[in-house]
Amino acid sequence: MTFLRSLIFLTLQVLLTPLFSTLALLTFPFSPLTRYRLISNYARTMVWLVQAICGIRYQVRGLENLPDTPCIVLCKHQSAWETLALQVIFPPQAWVLKRELLKIPFFGWALALTSPIAIDRSDGKGAMKQLLKQGKERLAQGFYVVIFPEGTRVAYGQRGKYKVGGTLLAASTGVPVVPVAHNAGRLWGRQAFSKHAGVITMSIGQPIDPAGMKADEIMAQVENWIEHEITQLEH
């Protein structure tokens, strides 16, 4: 049954993505925030479909910790689920992502209209300068800046190397950092076809004020909180 449900979901996703992406191109005349709100309906649809078809539900802890003004969100990255769910749970957001994603037909074209910070990972110093410059711009526009500090999806139960790009942005702007933990990889694995029914828990930590701290000190707090919180999500 899991295989069949996963196949149905994938089929609908493949069919709907070009349709939503084409409609997204029509949002070009609107403001960045309005474009984002319209285009993010794709993520809302996918989260609804994966719940209705595959039985993946979710709950959120700590929503009261989310500031009313734009901040920097550093989230654990385990699967494709959180890339969709963050758009449902959080206010309008600009993502730091690899530039290659914008070249994907249909999907990448729509993604480009959501005001991402699309970096070239091979250009270390250039990518960091771009992150700091465009990160400040996106925050000023009213976007929350979302970064996966491990840089790529990491299998459930494992830990990647946390990078300081997001906390450098925090240290340079004085904007608080909000750590986010979840256990999505338990049901929707890294690059996995099968999607197992159950409840994903996402936990939002208290904002970390970067005042008086260096980027690596902020990141140490973020990493410790996220990795410890993940161990508590099953309780």
Q: pLDDT for 31-44, tens place per residue?
A: 999 999 999 999 99
In tens, the pLDDT along 65-115 reads: 999 999 999 999 999 999 999 999 999 999 999 999 999 988 899 999 999
Give this prediction's pTM: 0.95
Q: Which long-range contacts (CB under 8 A, 24 or more apart) does 3-8 make?
A: 3/194, 5/53, 5/54, 5/55, 5/195, 5/197, 6/54, 6/193, 6/194, 6/195, 8/53
Query: Residue 75, class by beta-carbon neighbours within 10 Å (0-12 exposed, 13-18 middle, 19+ buried)?
Result: buried
Nearest Cα neighbor of 42 from 65, 69, 15, 68 is 15
Neighbours of 177 (CB within 10 A): 26
In tens, the pLDDT along 129-155 reads: 999 999 999 999 999 999 999 999 999
Options 3.30.40, 1.20.120, 2.60.40, 3.40.1130; CATH for 2-232 is 3.40.1130
